[in-house]
Structure 1
Amino acid sequence: MTSHKPGSVVFENVRKCFGAFTAVPDLSLTIEPGTLVTLLGPSGCGKTTTLRMLAGLEHPTSGRILIGGKDVTMLPANARDVSMVFQSYALFPHMTALDNVAYGLESSRLGKKVAREKAEHGLELVGLAGMGGRLPAELSGGQQQRVAVARALVLEPQVLLLDEPLSNLDARLRRKVRTDIRDLQQRLGFTAVYVTHDQDEALAVSDRIIVMKDGEIAQSGAPRELYEAPASPFIADFMGEANVVACEVLSVDAGRALVKVGGLEHHLPGNSARPGAAKLAVRPGAIRLGDGDEPGLKGRVLHSAYLGDHIEYEIETDVGAFFVVDHSVERSFAPAADVTLAFKNRGIALITA
């Protein structure tokens, strides 16, 4: 659909203050054309402020923003060649789906016939061919969201902005629509900047994830990199749940570290590790439980909960409490049972920062 190349996005030392409060202290980042990059972080981390500055709904206190190599820092929203999909969809309730999609095209002085042809093509792209005559109230939440995406796409922006686009959908529909958005982005090759606080959503749709904390970039990288090699306890716990415990690096040889946690020793990748104190991030599913007399880290079950295809445990050890997700439901451990913990090969990361 796009008639011109997708644009790059560059923030150069961007600062945003609201009175005495600094929402974004000093942000520099580059988003390559044709990629889907997610700004991820807890509430108040600055991700939405960053998106609004990119959209032209807020202006930086200082610094520069470039889209497709053009300085847009002080340009109004309608002069930026971006389109935004809002959390609330912002559809006109009295207009049909087709009229909603065509609205922006007609406002840009495109002839009505051409605008409606493009709008029909836009609905077809998002899988809503033949539904153009329905009002928003006659569409499901997922269909309304796709109308909002089509309305943004038909304007052929250099950059598509998506602000918490799935938060109003139920869990099953969220999975479906996030797949639709990712497939569409890869098929059409547009640049997308996606804001969410949902880690699973970010992992599922992104080429790159930028995790923000207090208006700054805590870590940036591919989804697998952030999940498997978190740079800090904050990233480890935010990118899917993690047990972060103190450990000792006993030795490092050929890029592998030998670590000790209580009475348990374990080998894992550790390119930047040095012998001494460190922290270990252990995913709940990366722990193998055994009877109390087996070798490993000794623990005692505090709580257990059977959830069909897995059992969740909270286990007390000398180095702290562990949250464990055990898919071996054939065997269970009752509260107060003595157990041992061993680590699997994946889902364990050494944090040296």
Structure 2
Amino acid sequence: MSALTSGSVVFQNLRKTFGAFTAIHDLSLTIEPGTLVTLLGPSGCGKTTTLRMLAGLEHPTSGRILIGGKDVTMLPANERDVSMVFQSYALFPHMTSLDNVAYGLESSGLKKKEARERAEEGLKLVGLGGFGQRLPAELSGGQQQRVAVARALVLEPQVLLLDEPLSNLDARLRRRVRTEIRELQQRLGFTAVYVTHDQDEALAVSDRIIVMKDGHIAQEGTPRDLYEAPASAFIADFMGEANVVACEVISVDGEDATIRIGALEHRVPSRNARKGPAKLAVRPNSITLEPAAEAAFSGTITHTAYLGDHVEYEVETANGPLFVVDPAVERPLAANTSVSIGFKGRGIAIIND
């Protein structure tokens, strides 16, 4: 199978209500052709409703949806050039893998011989050549999901939709299959819209991430943008754990600012900060701890947990509790130890809530 024809996706002022409840509020978003964009957020944030509107399984209350420049807002699902991969796989249990992949092709009017040839090609594409005669029950969960991906891809859609595609897999399989999906998307160059609530999954597969909250876009950007420069305490905490602590911005010099916590001063990206009280998001692995009776910024360890390749600490400070992840397992610090607290160069950002 050669590179697929990828299409753009445009949401224009999209709104969706269910009775008195508004699930999506005036959402506008453009997804460029050939990119994998993830809709990420907690349960009830609107990500699945947005995907279902794109698929034609729900219609918006107002606004427009364009695929490849064509207005598809009110078109039924079968008239949109999209294919969906569901979290439940939705394979026919009485049909072989080959028949499952060929089903959509045959239903669209393709002759059986050609449909089966393309289905064989689709199975090879996802690494399941030779598995065509196996029933779904004879496949692992990861293999079943790859059959579902092959079934969607052989239809050569402009946009592939993936709805929590890895949620039924164990942790090790999730890592492997998400890598396979990402490599396949990059190799074939198709547009993909991926829905998940798993932050690690989103960081691993995405060109861009759209974080949603209460039917709005809370922040969008590259995985690195969202992790290293969260725009709010919600984003900082949702995109991996973060300590949110009060600080004071004592100077701003172009793209850098100097903040003070206790008597400790540290340089961070300014991100339009102003002098005065502010909040700082600090990743747990961006904090350093050293035994010390007195320090510019100090605290006391209240809990220590050894987890094999790192140690987790809970530290009480005058600015509130901190959660710290330290890879230095050879020298763990005991509970009740007074510590000097410092910051590394990355994973620290002023947030502008």
Give TM class, smaller chain.
Answer: over 0.9
Instruction: Provide the rounded CA distance (Å) in 1 between the counterparts of 2:318 and 2:258.
Output: 20
Superposed, 1:143-162 pairs within 5 Å as 143-162=143-162
Distance change (3 Å), C-alpha of 1:4 and 1:200: closer
Matched, 1:317 2:323: no
Secondary structure (helix, strand or coil) at the match of 2:350 reads: strand
Give the stretch that moved more between structures: 40-49 or 268-277: 268-277
Q: Does the CA contact (< 8 Å) of 1:84 and 1:162 recur in 2?
A: yes
TM-score by length of 2: 0.98
Q: Does the CA contact (< 8 Å) of 1:51 and 1:161 recur in 2?
A: yes
Aligned to 2:220: 220
Secondary structure (helix, strand or coil) at the match of 2:274 reads: coil
Give the stretch that moved more between structures: 258-267 or 98-107: 258-267
Aligned to 2:123: 123
Instruction: Provide the rounded CA distance (Å) in 2 between the counterparts of 1:240 and 1:130.
Output: 40
Q: Does the CA contact (< 8 Å) of 1:263 and 1:298 recur in 2?
A: no
Instruction: Provide the rounded CA distance (Å) in 2 between the counterparts of 1:290 and 1:54.
Output: 52
* Matched AA of 1:61: T
Aligned to 1:17: 17
Q: Does the CA contact (< 8 Å) of 2:4 and 2:190 recur in 1?
A: no
Summarize deviations over 1:125-173 as a string: whole Å, max 9, x none. 0000111110111111100000000000000000000000000001011
Distance change (3 Å), C-alpha of 1:294 and 1:173: farther
Q: Which runs of 5+ in 1 are unaligned?
A: none
Matched, 1:64 2:64: yes
Q: Does the CA contact (< 8 Å) of 1:3 and 1:156 recur in 2?
A: no
Secondary structure (helix, strand or coil) at the match of 2:240 reads: coil
Q: Does the CA contact (< 8 Å) of 1:41 and 1:47 recur in 2?
A: yes
Matched, 1:185 2:176: no
Superposed, 1:197-346 pairs within 5 Å as 197-293=197-293, 295-346=295-346
Distance change (3 Å), C-alpha of 1:3 and 1:252: closer
* Matched AA of 2:147: V
* Matched AA of 1:33: P
Summarize deviations over 1:35-61 as a string: whole Å, max 9, x none. 000000000000000000000000001
* Matched AA of 1:141: G
Instruction: Provide the rounded CA distance (Å) in 2 between the counterparts of 1:3 and 1:163.
Output: 22
* Matched AA of 2:220: S
Q: CA deviation at 1:271?
A: 4.0
Identity of aligned residues (%): 77
Q: Does the CA contact (< 8 Å) of 2:101 and 2:119 recur in 1?
A: yes
Q: Does the CA contact (< 8 Å) of 2:211 and 2:218 recur in 1?
A: yes
Secondary structure (helix, strand or coil) at the match of 1:122 reads: helix
* Matched AA of 1:340: S
* Matched AA of 1:232: S
CA RMSD of aligned residues (A): 1.1
Q: CA deviation at 1:263?
A: 2.4
Instruction: Provide the rounded CA distance (Å) in 2 between the counterparts of 1:154 and 1:212.
Output: 31
Which aligned segments of 4 or more residues in structure 1 are displaced greater than 4 angstroms?
none
Matched, 1:195 2:195: yes
Instruction: Provide the rounded CA distance (Å) in 2 between the counterparts of 1:4 and 1:173.
Output: 26
Q: Does the CA contact (< 8 Å) of 2:3 and 2:188 recur in 1?
A: no
Distance change (3 Å), C-alpha of 1:91 and 1:263: same
Q: Does the CA contact (< 8 Å) of 2:304 and 2:314 recur in 1?
A: yes
Matched, 1:132 2:103: no
Q: CA deviation at 1:347?
A: 0.9
* Matched AA of 2:238: F
* Matched AA of 1:312: E
Secondary structure (helix, strand or coil) at the match of 2:14 reads: strand
TM-score by length of 1: 0.98
* Matched AA of 2:107: S
Give the stretch that moved more between structures: 102-111 or 270-279: 270-279
Q: Does the CA contact (< 8 Å) of 2:3 and 2:189 recur in 1?
A: no
Summarize deviations over 1:172-192 as a string: whole Å, max 9, x none. 110000000000000000000
Q: Does the CA contact (< 8 Å) of 1:288 and 1:343 recur in 2?
A: yes
Q: Does the CA contact (< 8 Å) of 2:15 and 2:25 recur in 1?
A: yes
Secondary structure (helix, strand or coil) at the match of 1:63 reads: strand
Q: Does the CA contact (< 8 Å) of 2:162 and 2:193 recur in 1?
A: yes
Q: Does the CA contact (< 8 Å) of 1:2 and 1:157 recur in 2?
A: no
* Matched AA of 2:39: L
Instruction: Provide the rounded CA distance (Å) in 2 between the counterparts of 1:165 and 1:244.
Output: 32
Aligned to 1:94: 94
Q: Give the aligned length.
A: 353
Aligned to 2:48: 48
Q: Which runs of 5+ in 2 are unaligned?
A: none
Instruction: Provide the rounded CA distance (Å) in 1 between the counterparts of 2:182 and 2:286.
Output: 29
* Matched AA of 1:134: R
Instruction: Provide the rounded CA distance (Å) in 2 between the counterparts of 1:228 and 1:172.
Output: 26
